[in-house]
Structure 1
Amino acid sequence: MVTVTAVRGDITRQRVDAIVNAANNAMRGGGGVDGAIHRAGGRAILDDCIARFPDGLRTGDAGWTTAGDLPATWVIHTVGPNYAAGERDRGLLESCYRRALEVADQIGARSVSFPLISAGVYAWPLNDAIDAAVTTIAKTPTRVEEVVVVSFSEDTHRRVQPQVHRLFPPATEPGSVGRLFERAPAQMGMRGDSYLWLALRAEFAATPLPSTWFDLRPMVVQAAEGIIGAPLTHTDDPIHVPEFDPGHGMSAGNVLPSWWLDTGIPILIDRFEAARQANGPELSTQ
């Protein structure tokens, strides 16, 4: 099964088998990610584009070239729809991710880095661009083992990461605090609480369990407050976390502090005590 992570960085520096280029129909280089990849990879990428795509590439399709001087072996070029120019069929955007993974399988790439296709100068709405990327990768059969979604800005990365955690929560180590978050509660306070739950699962994926629940509680509170940027207090006033809001309307992105203090953290403490009694320092993997 493919693992997906979100990182902030420069896609041209990703050490993966293949990086994905958000190209244009002409396939001769351009601005944004396209221009950066051509500049960093050198003339070899353009020469290969001319040879392989004499007539360019259709919107929604993908093909590969050498990566030239880049750390990767291949560049997989795909042409996203230009939302600003009226190309607003989400199926074309989804096709970019699907076809890129198909091309990766054809060339034998096992690790692939994607930018957010069409989310730059092509002006696809950011929340929907993120959703199209993550959900399409999730439902596309592939032999690729590792996908990295690369955001250049911190603001974009903070929006991508919760959506990646939603569908691709990272593995947690035995005996870690993250194991306490393996099963989500049947009912949470608000829709943003499920995102915070997954964010904390990732935060503590490799953190060893403390010796007592007295130490666990402040760990969770401090981490939660750092993620949402506000204190957890006994209040029913929700805290809106923009990064947890995928644009789905009512209560999306809202975290309820009182739920965490009165319900969420007590659940974690109960699991902590049960794990200690059953397995000592080792959490069950069942």
Structure 2
Amino acid sequence: MVTVRAVHGDITQQRVDAIVNAANRAMRGGGGVDGAIHRAGGPAILDDCIARFPHGLQTGDAGWTTAGSLTAQWVVHTVGPNHAAGERDRALLESCYRRALEVADELGARSVAFPLISAGIYAWPLNDAIDAAVTTIARTPTRVDEVRLVSFSPDTHRRVQAQTLRLFPPATAPDSVGRLFEADPTPWGLRGDTYLWLVLRAEFATTPRPGDARELEAMIRAVADAIVGHSLAHADDALYVVEFDPGHGMSAGSVLPSWWNDRGIPFLIDRFHEARAT
């Protein structure tokens, strides 16, 4: 099964088999990610684009070239829809991810780094662009082992990370704090609470459990407060966390402090005591 993770950094520096380029239909280089990949890879990429794609590439399709001077072996080029120019069929955006993975399979690539396609100058709404990336990769059969969703902006990375954890939570180590999050509490709070739960699970995936419940609570609260930007213990109203909002309707992105104080953290403390007793 493919492993998907969000990465904050420069896509041209990723040590993977294939880097995905958000190209334009002409396939002759451009701005943004496209320009960065051509600059970092050198003229060999453009030469291969001219040879392989004399008439360019259609929106939603993908094809490959050499990676030139990049550490990757191949560049998989895909053309995203230009939302700003009226290309607003999400099926075209989903096709970019699906076709890129199909091309990667044809090449035998086992690790692939994607940018967030169409979310730059093509102005696809950010939350929907992230949702299209994560859900399409999750639905696409592939022999690729590792997918990285690479964001240069730290704010975008936090949003991508939250949505990636929704469908691709990391494994938790035995006797870790993260393992306490394996069982879901009922009832849940607001939609943002489920995202905060998953982010905390990932943050503590390999953190050894402390010696007592008070230390555990302090650890969880400190990290949770840093993520939401407010003290859960000293807030009454719901807190909106933009990176937890995938655009799915009412309460999306909202974290309820009272739920964490009355239900979430007590549930984790109970799990802690149960784990120590077994």
Report TM bin, short chain.
over 0.9
Kindly provide the amino acid, as one letter, of the partner of residue 194 in structure 1: T
- Describe the superposition over 1:72-92 as per-residue Cα deviations: whole angstroms up to 9, x where unpaired: 111000000011111111000
- Give the superposition deviation at 1:186: 2.8
- Tell whether the 8 Å contact from 1:234 to 1:258 is kept in structure 2 after alignment: no
Query: Which residue does 1:82 correspond to in 2?
Result: 82
TM-score, length basis structure 1: 0.95
Query: Which residue does 1:186 correspond to in 2?
Result: 186
SS at match of 1:131: helix
For residues 188 and 260 of structure 1, the distance between their equivalents in structure 2, rounded to whole angstroms, comes to 10
Could you say what the CA RMSD is over the residues aligned between the two structures, in angstroms? 0.9
- Describe the superposition over 1:213-235 as per-residue Cα deviations: whole angstroms up to 9, x where unpaired: 12111011111001100001265
- Give the superposition deviation at 1:183: 2.0
SS at match of 1:99: helix
Q: How many residues align?
A: 278
- Give the superposition deviation at 1:248: 2.2
Query: Which residue does 1:284 correspond to in 2?
Result: none
SS at match of 1:233: helix
Query: Which residue does 2:210 correspond to in 1?
Result: 210
Q: Does 1:110 align with 2:110?
A: yes
Query: Which residue does 1:147 correspond to in 2?
Result: 147
Query: Which residue does 1:2 correspond to in 2?
Result: 2
SS at match of 2:30: coil
- Unaligned 5+ residue runs, structure 2? none
For residues 129 and 266 of structure 1, the distance between their equivalents in structure 2, rounded to whole angstroms, comes to 36
- Describe the superposition over 1:72-118 as per-residue Cα deviations: whole angstroms up to 9, x where unpaired: 11100000001111111100000000000000000000000000000
For residues 166 and 208 of structure 1, the distance between their equivalents in structure 2, rounded to whole angstroms, comes to 23
Kindly provide the amino acid, as one letter, of the partner of residue 184 in structure 1: D
- Tell whether the 8 Å contact from 1:11 to 1:113 is kept in structure 2 after alignment: yes
Kindly provide the amino acid, as one letter, of the partner of residue 113 in structure 2: S
Kindly provide the amino acid, as one letter, of the partner of residue 99 in structure 1: R
For residues 225 and 167 of structure 1, the distance between their equivalents in structure 2, rounded to whole angstroms, comes to 23
Query: Which residue does 1:283 correspond to in 2?
Result: none
For residues 3 and 222 of structure 1, the distance between their equivalents in structure 2, rounded to whole angstroms, comes to 28
SS at match of 1:55: coil
- Give the superposition deviation at 1:55: 1.1
5 Å matches for 1:190-269?
190-233=190-233, 236-269=236-269
TM-score, length basis structure 2: 0.98
For residues 19 and 154 of structure 2, the distance between their equivalents in structure 1, rounded to whole angstroms, comes to 20
For residues 2 and 51 of structure 1, the distance between their equivalents in structure 2, rounded to whole angstroms, comes to 32
- Give the superposition deviation at 1:237: 1.1
Kindly provide the amino acid, as one letter, of the partner of residue 260 in structure 2: W
For residues 184 and 69 of structure 1, the distance between their equivalents in structure 2, rounded to whole angstroms, comes to 47
Query: Which residue does 1:137 correspond to in 2?
Result: 137
Query: Which residue does 1:13 correspond to in 2?
Result: 13
Q: Does 1:34 align with 2:48?
A: no
Query: Which residue does 2:45 correspond to in 1?
Result: 45
| Aligned sequence identity (%) | 76
Query: Which residue does 2:91 correspond to in 1?
Result: 91
- Unaligned 5+ residue runs, structure 1? 279-286
- Tell whether the 8 Å contact from 1:179 to 1:205 is kept in structure 2 after alignment: yes
For residues 256 and 180 of structure 1, the distance between their equivalents in structure 2, rounded to whole angstroms, comes to 20
For residues 64 and 201 of structure 2, the distance between their equivalents in structure 1, rounded to whole angstroms, comes to 36
5 Å matches for 1:114-129?
114-129=114-129
